[in-house]
Amino acid sequence: MSISDDDRPIRKVAHEIGSDLSLLSVDELASRIALLQEEIARLEAEKIRKGASRSAAEKLFR
């Protein structure tokens, strides 16, 4: 028996860009800020990794 997409638990979105922040507590805001800072660091690291790959490829084909 396989699990269909309908049977999987729905993942709660931790933060949606542009969402209403007025009902969040200070602790919830701090938690979301930390989450977004971690995501920014992850994105920056991937950008650097891809930039290095691209740079190496450009040097190879010059």
pTM assigned to the model: 0.63
Which residues does 21 contact at the CB level (< 8 Å), separation at least 6? 29
d(C-alpha 14, C-alpha 35), whole Å: 8
What are the residue ranges spanned by the domains of the chain?
23-62
CA dihedral sign of residues 37, 34, 16, 8: positive
Range list of H helices, 1-62? 26-60
The pLDDT tens digits along the chain (62 residues) read 555 667 777 766 678 899 999 999 999 999 999 999 999 999 999 999 998 887 777 777 77
